[in-house]
Amino acid sequence: MAQEIERKFLVINDHWRTEATGILYRQAYLNTDKQRTVRIRIIGEQAFITIKGITRDICRLEFEYPIAVEDAHTMIDQLAHRPIIEKYRYQIKQQDLIWEIDEFLGENQGLIIAEVELSHPDQKLVLPEWIGAEVSHDPRYFNNNLVTHPFQSW
């Protein structure tokens, strides 16, 4: 069983930008039910289908599998909820952790979130100086909710 343990934070400045190069992510949701989500994601020339369970505290089940890029494009274009989530993702290694910074585009432009996956829920973090308020427990910041309630409509 795969379990994702993740914390999310707002990003408060641009000091992280010198440490990473972004890659474009294009993703869409086939199902946004809060009990389970089904996501299609294209990253460059790779594509994945991901099924996630309900979030409990900062943990949830997650299963991800590679799929054909052509199939992913078809599913996004013909089956997915709108709007599509497009973002640049940057990765920064600090200590033994990988921070992922998502800079959203389109209807979510202006939103920048940093996420970090942990090995256990009580793992201690040293927060980088560009980290702001924690939003791990605020469902507005979940990507699947940004489809139904984009950041620019808040």
As annotated, the active-site residues are: 29
End-to-end CA distance of the chain: 36
The residue assigned the tokens 């400045």 is: 13
What span, in angstroms and rounded, lies between the C-alpha atoms of 15 and 120? 28
Question: Could you tell me how far CA 79 lies from the centroid of its own chain?
Answer: 20
What span, in angstroms and rounded, lies between the C-alpha atoms of 50 and 39? 5
What is the C-alpha R_g of the chain? 15
CB 125 within 8 A of CB 106: no
What span, in angstroms and rounded, lies between the C-alpha atoms of 11 and 22? 15
